[in-house]
Amino acid sequence: MVSFPNAKINLGLNVVEKRTDGYHNIETVFVPIFGLYDVLEFVESNKTTLQIFGIEIEGKAENNLIIKALRLLQNNFKIPELSCFLKKNIPTGAGLGGGSADAAFMLQMINKRFMLNISQKNLENYATKLGADCAFFIINKPSFAKERGDILSGINLSLQGKYIVLVKPNIYISTYESYSNIVPKKWDVSLENVFQLPISEWKNYLFNDFEKNIFAQHPQLAEIKQQMYNFGAIYSSMSGSGATIFGIFDKKPNINFDGMFVFETFL
């Protein structure tokens, strides 16, 4: 069985407060990027394995979210061991949600292949146990997210016809690095109200709270964001906790980011 876990971007990311459990409450909008995707396949086997091709992922297979998704469902359902194969195209440490997407799609594939009849809501609950933004990929449409990023609601947002450029230099940003020195504070203008404005005004109100500290540590990212505007972007930002910078354009721009991961598509 094969599926194609897609990437996502964050439109705005407000770190609202630190929780008593050590995590942070956030507000953001997730938007799927269907053109950029991994390829995930599994077949029944007498032993569970995971082979990864394309972009290299460090760590043991049993620590990968794909295998964790399988084990999570095996706790409650009779599911055989699986040989899993992942063609990794979505960069890691990029703020594009590739690992979370792989996990969520694995849950959906197992549910379909073995006819478990798990409802979408319960799939979201399983996904949340694997990671804060995993549940989004069960829904996989523009969504307003709050708390740890796992409380989701629909948002009336369409970027159809816009052109997006994703650029990731050879920089890896850990979650620890992202949250170091972050000062939680709720925005004066609510995220929901920002999306009532034209895209051309987003840059005045729509921010990623991680940018200030991360740009100070990695000035190249700030330079890429400015280049996006130089190339004619109507809005540009870092996605999630980085290190991808995206730009939204009215039409395909003439850009040049040599030596970096670059992905372009119409939305």
The catalytic site residues sit at: 8, 133
Peptide bond into 243 cis (omega under 30): yes
Q: In 3D, which of 111, 67, 98 has the Cα closest to residue 5?
A: 98
- List all residues 6 or more positions away from 220 whose beta carbon is below 8 Å from its beta carbon: 169, 171
Q: How would you write the chain as a 3-class SS string?
A: CEECCEEEEEEEEEEEEECCCCCEEEEEEEEEEEEEECEEEEEECCCCEEEEEECCCCCCHHHCHHHHHHHHHHCCCCCCCEEEEEEECCCCCCCCCHHHHHHHHHHHHHHHHCCCCCCHHHHHHHHHHHCCCCCHHHHCCCEEEEECCCEEEECCCCCCCCEEEEEECCCCCCHHHHHCCCCCCCCCCCHHHHCCCCHHHHHHHCCECCHHHHHHHCHHHHHHHHHHHHCCCCEEEECCCCCCEEEEECCCCCCCCCCCEEEEEEC
